[in-house]
Each structure stands twice: as structure tokens, then as C-alpha cells.
Structure 1
């Protein structure tokens, strides 16, 4: 049972973390159609959550797996998780390289509000001596 748990933890790091980071980076580099500021903020918040979760799990899962494999006395899984620590560094370097290619910060980005300005079709006079412009 402990081998199954350690294997699940290792494969969660091996496949789950890159998936979260890849989806987050694709969303971050995309130009979504978000017509309102609320939709743009929701898109940015989801993207930030994916990237932050991926980066945190990238550090936590190998350390946790190394600790659990040491407590369980599993030398094979200890070697796997020790190698995963090197992979953790490689994933951070890859994310940093992608971040250097972007124009803004990797997290905390909210696309600009694409809602059009309202069109003024009529003039309503205001009291206080100010009339409508042009007549």
C-alpha cells in the first residue's frame, strides 16, 4: 500500500504539476476575449490560481515524497524523489524562461477592459447655466 501511495505522489508530481503549469502558461500568454472588466478579472484570477498551485506543488510534492519514502524505508522511491528535486529546479528554470518572454508579470495580470465607451445620442441640459455644447 505504501508503494502505491508513493507512486501516486510521484506521478502526481511528474504529470500533474507540468499540466497545471502548462495550462496556466497557455492562459497567461493567450489574448482572451473578455468584454467586461469582471470577466477579465475572473480570467486573470483563475490563471494566477493555476500557476501558483503548480509552482507550490512543484516544491512540496518531491520534498513530501522524499520524507515519506525515508520514513517508510523505501530506497527506490527515495532515489526517485531525490531525482524529482532536480526536476523541480528544471521546471522553475523553464517557467522563468517563459516569464522572461512575456511583456508583463507572470501572475497578477488582468487583461484590459474591452467594454466599449457608451455613445452619447442626446444632450440633457443641466441647471446652473450650462447648456448643451453646440447649441
Structure 2
């Protein structure tokens, strides 16, 4: 996952530069792995994606989470549907985001999917009318 927070908040990077955050999860997150090897794999991916990475970019910090996932509720790549078997009951958050999303971006995407389901099924309009009657 690559994010560029300086696109929304330019003041967090020097003028003419950007701040990127990169997160990755090994495919088998339940087994302990060689962190240095995993880190080098991520770095190679970045070199493949970003032309001139080694000369144009600077690594500011490197962090490795161990144990339970503090940043993601589900393991990326193992999505849980936002829909449940109960009509009108939905899961929202990073635990129910589709593939390709994680963290806060995944939470926002799951909320958008629920909104689309509610609007498409006409449920949103019914909820709005009942709230208006109560007011």
C-alpha cells in the first residue's frame, strides 16, 4: 500500500517534494518470517515501481509490527464482505474492505459500498423518511 499524504497536506513535505508512506504484509502473516528479507522485497518492489528510487528518494523510518495487526483489522488480501446475511445489516470498516484497500482507505471504501447498496435498494430513502417523521 502506497499513500501520498502530502497531496492533501503539502506542508508536511519540503516545497517541491512529497511524503509517501508504504506498508506491506507478507503473504503468510501467521508465521514468523525474516524481517530483513521481507524489507528487501518491499524495497525491490519500490525500485520497480518508482523510476530512480535510489537516487530520488530517501527512507526516513522503517517499522515492523509483530504479533497482532495494529494497523489493519484483517490481513490484507483476505477481504470480508461488507454484506451480512441479515437484510439491512452491513459491516463497515477496514475489516470489510475489498481487495486492494487497507486501513483508513479500506474503511472509507467499505462505507462507500454500503452507501451504494443502501441507495440501490431504496433503503436509504426509507430511513430518511422515518427519521423525518420522528423529528
Scaled to the shorter chain, the TM-score interval is under 0.3
Considering Cα pairs closer than 8 Å and 6+ residues apart, tell me whether 1 or 2 has the greater RCO: 1
Larger Rg: 1
Q: Could you tell me the TM-score, scaled by structure 2's length?
A: 0.27
Structure ranking higher in helix proportion = 1
